[in-house]
Structure 1
C-alpha cells in the first residue's frame, strides 16, 4: 500500500507539472483536435468537384451524351469552349481537364473505326489529375459502349460486375486519415510525454530531490507511466467522441470502450519507450532526435500508412515483434470493421506480452541510470 500511495502521489505531481507546461499541453490539445480535423479535411485522396471543359467539334448525339455524363460531385458542370481556347485556358489554370471531341467522331465510331479523342490534363493538381483521368476514361468508354450497343442492337454484356465496398462505401479519405491520425498521435505523444518527464526532472534538478526520498526507481518510473498514460487516454477518448463523431461526423463502427482498453495496454509499451529514451537523452533536443529515429520507422512499418502485405515478406514478419503493428491491427479492426473482443484478443495478448517485456527492460534501464546517478 505504501508503494501504491507513493506511485499515486508522484503521478499527481506529474499531472500538475504537465498542466503547467504549456508547450506540451498545447501539443496534446492540438494533436488530438485541430491536427486531426485538418488532416481529415485537407488530405483528400478522392476526386471531387474537378473543373472540366469540353470542345465539341462533332455536335452529334454521342458527343452530347459524353458531355452530359460529367456531372457533380465528381466533376463540375462542363463548360463549352472553342478549340483555339484550349491552350490559353490550360495555361491560365482555369480547368483541370479539357476534353476535345473531334469532327465526325460519331460517324467513325459507328463505322467501326477507332477515332482519337483527346483529354488534356493539368497535372499540377496531381491527385485530381490521376484519379480524374481514370474516371474520364471509364465514363467515355461506358457512354460509347452504350451508344454503339443501342445503335447496332447488340445485347447486354453476359457478365454484370457488382462491386460492393464494405466499411467505407463512398471511399471517403477522411474516414481513414482522421482515425489513423489519432492512432499515430497516441504513439507519438506517449513517447514524447514520458521521455520529456524524465528529461525535465534532470534539467530542473528535481531528480536529485526524488533520489534522497524513500522512493524506489520503480515507483518513480511507474508514476510517470500512469500519469502520462492518463493524459493521453483522456485526450484520445475526447477526440473520438468530440472531434471524430461530433465535428467531422465520421462514424465509428466498433466499441470505443473496447478500443480504449487496447489503448491502455499499448500505452505501457509506448511510455516505456519514452522512459528508455529519456534515460539516454541528456536534453530535450537530444530526446527529439532520438524520438525521430525510433518513431518514424516504427510508424511507417506498422501498417498504418501501407498494408503489411505490400512490404517484403521478411520485413512484414520482422515487424510482428513490434507492438505498434498489433496496435494498428486491432485499432483498425475495432474502429473500422466493428470487431469484438473475440476477434482482437490475440492482438491484445501480443501487445501486452511484448509491451511487458520491453517495459521491464525500460524499468531496468531507468533503475541502472538512477543508481549510477546516486
Structure 2
C-alpha cells in the first residue's frame, strides 16, 4: 500500500490509501506546538520583568526588531503541515509569549491573516512574565470551554515561599464537529540543574495527570492532546512515571497515553540543543482513543519535528542547532531556540 496526496478543496487535502481493491480519502488537520522564544512586545510593562525587551533595555528591543520577530514566527507557523493539508495548522499551542497583544499582532501578520485565527490566553503569574496560549482557525475549531490551571510549587528551603510559574491551559472544543481536548504546557525549567529542579516538573506532571484524569472521568474515550515545552525528555520520570506514557501503540489500553516523540528521541532527534547534546523537550502526547484504527472519526496519523533547513544555523560552532532569534546581546534575525512539533489527525471521508 502506498500513500499519495489528493486535493479535495482549497483548504482540505486527503491522504489516499491505494491498493488493488480500495481507494480511501482522508481529511487531515495539523495540530502544532511552538516555543516562540520570548515573544515580547517593545513596551515596558511595570507588572512584569520585561525591562530587557524594551528599546532602552539591555536587548534594545525596538519596534523594528519586534516586527521582524513577528514576521518570522508567522512564516514558520503558516508552513507547518501545509505541504500535506494545504493550509496552516488548525490548532497551535504556543509558549514564551508576553501577553495577548503579541498574539494579536502575530495572527495579523500577512502569512496568517487570511487564516482568521482565534486566540485563547490568560496572564499567568510567571515571574518572567511569559504565558502559554492557543491559536485556532475559527472555521476548523470551535472552543466550548477553557481555563488556566495554576501550578503551585514552593521553594525547597522555604515552603511558605511560592515559586511563580506558568499555568496549564486546558481548552475543550469541536474540531470539525468532533469533541477534542487540548492542554498547553510550559513546565518549570532546569535552572539549577536537572536533578535539583526535577521535583518542580514532577509537580507539573501531576497537575497535568490530574487534568487528564478528570477528562477521562467524564468520558473514558475522551480525545486528548497534551502538548508543550515540558523541559523534560520523553524518557524523563515526569513523563514516563507520572503521565505513564507508552511508546508502542500495541501496548495501549483505554485511558492511557501514547507519546510519539519517544521513538524520535531514542533515535537521537531533538527540538533544542545544549552543550553538544540534543533534548526533545517539545512534545505532543495523545490519548488512546486517538490511536484507534477506525478512521470514521479523527485519529492520530503521525507526529514530527518541524526542523526545516532555514530554522537551523547554517555554519559555525552551532551548525544544525535551532537558529535562535537572540544571541550575543542582539537580535540575530533568526527564529527560536526550539524547533516546533506537530501531529496530523485524519478522518476517512465516506465515499458517495
Per the normalisation by structure 1, the TM-score is: 0.22
Greater C-alpha Rg: 1
Q: Per chain length, whose mean CA-contact separation is higher, i.e. which structure has more relative contact order (CA < 8 Å, sep 6+)?
A: 1
Higher helix share: 1
Higher strand share: 2
Per the normalisation by structure 2, the TM-score is: 0.23
